[in-house]
Chain A
Amino acid sequence: MPLLQPLGRTFLDGLSAIGRLALFTLRAILLAVRPPYYPRLILKQMIEIGYYSLPVVGMTAVFTGMVLALQTYTGFSRFNAETAIPNVVVLSICRELGPVLAGLMVAGRIGAAMAAELGTMRVTEQIDALVTLSTNPFKYLIAPRLIAGIAMLPVLVATADVIGVLGGYLVSAYKLGFNPGSYLQNTVDFVEFLDVFSGLVKAAVFGFIVALMGCYHGFHSRGGAQGVGKATTNAVVSASILILIANYIVTELFFSR
């Protein structure tokens, strides 16, 4: 019996954590759609997530596109199927690598920053101060971050799609000897609306996950600097795992036959 006790406690703790997260999510969504809105804060978060993440997402996309072209070439050349490289690059980038890698990079950059900022606000009583100033912290702190996350990740991923394809184009045209014009023509001819659209939907979901995890862990952090550090780690790890899970679910919804 003593062996079963910790197992049971861990299971119950897990259930109660899921329940807390579900309630937090529901409350955040309900309050995000109700006034008052804070357009200045939403804009500030949009700039923080969208504009300041561009370099890291762009770098990730360009090198991913380049490596993808190179690796596909080494594999496909064995079957004389090099002409499929533009198709593989654009499909992989738009459907999978663009949204997933951008999501993971933003989870590291923005999810951590959100958790650290809100965590510090929690332990220094700034969130309590908001309440005493008749301001709902969910509306003031969490709603702008969720809205900005959902709105800006698709923008980042659309940019990453273009940069990723460009990376593949650079390697193909200038290293692998492809005709630059026909490479781009092949890419444009092959890509379909759903390929890009599914990636952008994934991006919106990932943006929601990143902002939610950052806010949830930051908002509930306890115990000073150590608590803030733990919240930051938890935000990045949980957002990364949930992004991978959500990626499968959205792919299944769009492309399962």
Chain B
Amino acid sequence: MTGDLKIRVRGLCKSFGRKVVLKDLDLDVPRGESLVVIGGSGTGKSVLIKCIIGLMKPDKGSIEIDGQEVTRMSAGEREEIMHKFGMLFQGGALFDSLPVWENVAFGLIAGQGFNRVEAKEIALRKLGAVGLGSDVAQLYPSELSGGMQKRVSLARAIATEPEIIFFDEPTTGLDPIMSQVINELIKKCVEDLGATALSITHDMHSLRVIGDNAAMIYDGRIIWNGAAQDIDRSGNSLVDQFVQGKAEGPIKMPVRPL
């Protein structure tokens, strides 16, 4: 079975001091599919994605990428496997000291040894693919709107044509129209590259547009997974409450009266 899986997570545990964030979490992402993980704030979605990428070290458990165990890899092996990854960060995480084109070309120049002229050509093509013209290329990230920054960040994530792309709350902070633009761009880019995608979000609309499959994380575990189109018929009261955005239900928010 693991041959069909691009990412396989088993028994993942991660705590910060006394706060247990992930508890024996299992997750499978099949090759070439787009999985969207939903869940409330503070449920461990970002921690999960950071553990898979290697930005955080899990306390326990196994993470396999293409059948290769990555949690016990050396730093050198880790750097190699990073070539398979692309990531769109929640806040964009663009390098504010570099112009837009260098941001997009960064992975090509620093990670893959392209010369600057070649890398710039590719960067301009990728910027075009996310709907940004060459006039934007010389600007700095601080000169762009939030939506444009997200698009540049998406161009950077796909510039090296990675096998796996991670999207960390890609539509947070955007207006509904720009959210839809980003969602459609993500879907198109992932399909064009034939990449495997793992996204985390609490935007239901985003889930429906970019996800083939969906999973919900709650209390440090995956409590439901299935096809994204079945999310409204999950038969799970926790998922139903989250999808419908109800304040009342099995998920209790610790809110005190004024």
Enumerate chain A interface residues (CB-CB to B < 8 A). Answer: 36, 117, 121, 124-126, 128-129, 131-136, 140
Contacts and interface: CB of A to CB of B under 8 A. Distances in A.
Given A136-B79, A140-B110, A131 B54 contact: yes
B91 A132 contact: no
Given A124-B93, A126-B93, A128-B93, A133 B110 contact: yes
A126 B87 CA distance: 12
Residue of B55, B110, B112 with highest tally of chain A CB at under 10 A? B110
Contacts, number: 53
Given A128-B89, A132-B55, A132-B166, 11 more contacts: A124-B91, A125-B89, A126-B94, A129-B87, A129-B89, A131-B53, A131-B82, A133-B110, A133-B160, A134-B110, A134-B111
Contacts of A131: 53-55, 82
A134 B82 contact: yes
Contacts of A133: 82, 106-107, 110-111, 156, 160
B110 A135 contact: yes
Contacts of A124: 91, 93
B187 interface: no
29 contacts: A36-B110, A124-B93, A125-B89, A125-B90, A125-B93, A126-B95, A126-B96, A128-B55, A128-B89, A128-B93, A129-B87, A129-B93, A129-B94, A131-B54, A131-B82, A132-B53, A132-B85, A132-B87, A132-B166, A133-B107, A133-B156, A134-B79, A134-B82, A134-B83, A134-B110, A134-B112, A135-B106, A135-B107, A135-B111
Contacts of B94: 126, 129
B58 interface: no
Contact of A129 (B95, B97, B160): B95
B110 A125 contact: no
A125 B91 contact: yes
A62 B218 CA distance: 65
Contacts of A126: 93-96
A136 B82 CA distance: 11
